[in-house]
Amino acid sequence: MSDSALPRLEVCLSPALLHLYDTKGAVVVIIDVFRATSTIAAALHNGATCVIPVASVQECIELGNSIENSITAGERDGKVAEGLQYGNSPSEYPKEFINDRCLVLTTTNGTRLLHMVKDADTIITGAFLNLSAVCDFLVAQKKNVLLGCAAWKDRFNLEDTLFAGAVVNKIKDHFSVNCDSARAANYLFEHSAEGDAITFLRDSSHYKRLSAYGLQGDMEYCATPDLHPVVPILKGKELVIYK
Amino acid sequence: MSDSALPRLEVCLSPALLHLYDTKGAVVVIIDVFRATSTIAAALHNGATCVIPVASVQECIELGNSIENSITAGERDGKVAEGLQYGNSPSEYPKEFINDRCLVLTTTNGTRLLHMVKDADTIITGAFLNLSAVCDFLVAQKKNVLLGCAAWKDRFNLEDTLFAGAVVNKIKDHFSVNCDSARAANYLFEHSAEGDAITFLRDSSHYKRLSAYGLQGDMEYCATPDLHPVVPILKGKELVIYK
């Protein structure tokens, strides 16, 4: 898993480790499987004009007020946050609802990581729902890649790492991989979860947390590969479909 | 893997994540498999009166000068550091050499983590060489446990994580485990490396780095379970055998 003539592929397991990686000129993939980057893939694939990730509920409300045909969304503790209109579930954004609208979305872990990356060439978002599209994009770019797990309040989590492993597994032959995080993520995916991520993820902290809110269906959906084959790419402050 | 009436078992994958864990009143296991905590187990088991871990070469020299019958040791870039007497290999400390002497050892990653932990009840060191002794100790204490991986310049590494997984695997029934790092470490150990850690570790960054210095034999030795069944415990600034 190493050939120095190829671009570099690395995995960052937590935003608290981001400073260890050189993202200059690289493609950075923001990963927040449960559920921000899953919802982003679903909304864009179902016709949203853009998704604008913001850090706070207040910012979400203000931006929602200033953009025509926008929807404000975000949860705190598993419920729609006060002052916002919708939640953080990918199934809330079918085509007939989200088409031609802009989704202003506040999430904690994923948004924070996205705003922490300063000097990358390109920032995209990834989740199982757009796994193959993300992989194809990364291979085509021929640039260094950092897979950035949003984690949970900086703590390592299984779902984001597992997705990073799925990406490493699919594209590793096109990159130089000399990164133990990438090796471990690949191993977890290859030996445990290939083809059945959700069974593996049922024994994870986040699954247990969200299950307490009755969100098992959401997580099953989020663990399904390639239902929304788009590449959300950051242009200014907006995530739009890469074309 | 969760029962809240039991003490907590968690894994910290990097010193840069240590602030996320509550170590107050807990037993913290410092893990630096290649090679600091392996050398510590070997030296103490072979009769060293104590091991004093220090951060810098200068501190190592000064302390060595002030302690009778001491040996100064430490490497930088795979060679004995200038001004010190010996290296960081467990095989350098057989009984006929180290018996009744104090080893003043400077290492980078392991020592740094050890000095970062401030409010633990107990600090011990762990490596494959003393795996079962460490596990027995942890079960007997009935306190919260944090397995702290020394990592490599704050980057996740496979060997320390794999050892943490070996410990989780052996003692998890005695603890409440609600920590994705612990789950992942256990998974890596259980599905890949049980009984043959070194084969798994040959594809790791540190193995490749140390192989370039011809240290494969050292790493094979470090990956062998239970050759030195002692529990090194921190008393003041000294690591001594727990009795």
How many angstroms away from the CA of B179 is the closest CA of chain A?
A: 7
Q: What pLDDT score does B109 carry?
A: 87
Of B153, B178, B180, the CB nearest to A157: B180
* Residue range(s) defining the domain that contains residue B26: 9-241
- DSSP-H helix ranges across chain B: 36-45, 57-66, 95-98, 109-116, 131-141, 158-171, 180-188, 197-201, 205-211, 216-222
This model's pTM is above 0.90: yes
Query: Residue A203 — very low, low, confident or very high, per pLDDT cuts 50/70/90?
Result: confident
Residues B154, B14 contacting (CB under 8 angstroms): yes
What total of structural domains would you count in chain A? 1
Interface A–B counts its CB contacts (< 8 A) at 80
The closest alpha carbon to A33, from A198, A211, A235, belongs to: A198
Angle at B185 between CA B184 and CA B191, to 5 degrees: 85
How distant is the alpha carbon of residue A23 from its chain centre?
Answer: 17
CB-CB under 8 Å, B156 with A181? yes
Residue B229 included in any domain? yes
How many angstroms away from the CA of A156 is the closest CA of chain B?
A: 6
A30-34, A144-148, B187-191: least confident range: B187-191
CATH code, domain with B108 = 3.90.1560.10
Query: Residue A193 — very low, low, confident or very high, per pLDDT cuts 50/70/90?
Result: low
CB-CB under 8 Å, A13 with B208? no
Residue B115 included in any domain? yes
Q: By three-state DSSP, how is residue A51 classified? A: strand
Of B17, B187, B205, the CB nearest to A14: B17
Residue B218 included in any domain? yes
What residue type is assigned to position B2 of the chain? S
Q: What pLDDT score does B3 carry?
A: 59
Strands A9-12 vs A70-76: parallel, antiparallel or unpaired: unpaired
Residue A123 in this model has a pLDDT that exceeds 80: yes
User: Percent helix, strand and coil across chain B, each rounded to 5?
Assistant: 45, 20, 35
pLDDT less than 70: residues of chain B = 1-4, 193-195
Residue B3 included in any domain? no
Residue A75 included in any domain? yes
How many angstroms away from the CA of B116 is the closest CA of chain A?
A: 17
DSSP tag of B238 = E
Q: What pLDDT score does A35 carry?
A: 92
User: Rounded mean pLDDT of A154-175?
Assistant: 97
Residue A3 in this model has a pLDDT that exceeds 90: no
How many angstroms away from the CA of B71 is the closest CA of chain A?
A: 34
Q: What pLDDT score does A200 carry?
A: 86
User: Rounded mean pLDDT of A142-147?
Assistant: 98
Q: Does B208 touch chain A (CB under 8 A)?
A: yes
User: Rounded mean pLDDT of A88-94?
Assistant: 93
Residue A45 in this model has a pLDDT that exceeds 90: yes
How distant is the alpha carbon of residue A180 from its chain centre?
Answer: 21
Q: Does A186 touch chain B (CB under 8 A)?
A: no
Residue A1 in this model has a pLDDT that exceeds 80: no
Residue A242: how many other CB atoms lie within 10 Å: 16
Residue A94 in this model has a pLDDT that exceeds 90: yes
User: Rounded mean pLDDT of A149-174?
Assistant: 96
User: Rounded mean pLDDT of A122-126?
Assistant: 98
Nearest CA in chain A to B188: A188
Q: How far apart are CA A175 and CA A5, in angstroms?
A: 9
How does B42-65 read in b/e, with b if 16+ C-beta sit within 10 Å? bbbbbbbbbbbbbeebebbbebbe
- DSSP-H helix ranges across B67-130: 95-98, 109-116
Residue A4 included in any domain? no
CB-CB under 8 Å, B153 with A20? yes
Nearest CA in chain A to B206: A180
Q: What pLDDT score does A77 carry?
A: 76
CB-CB under 8 Å, B161 with A203? no
Tokens 């030296």 sit at which residue?
A: B43
Q: What pLDDT score does A192 carry?
A: 76
Q: How far apart are CA B194 and CA B187, in angstroms?
A: 10
Residue B4 included in any domain? no
Q: How far apart are CA A55 and CA A178, in angstroms?
A: 33
Residue A30 included in any domain? yes
ipTM score: 0.93
Q: How far apart are CA B49 and CA B93, in angstroms?
A: 13
Of B16, B183, B191, the CB nearest to A204: B183
Nearest CA in chain B to A186: B188
Q: Mind listing the pLDDT tens digit for each residue in B162-198? A: 999 999 999 999 999 999 999 999 999 998 766 688 8
Q: What residues does B103 pair with on adjacent strands? A: B51, B71
Residue A165 in this model has a pLDDT that exceeds 90: yes
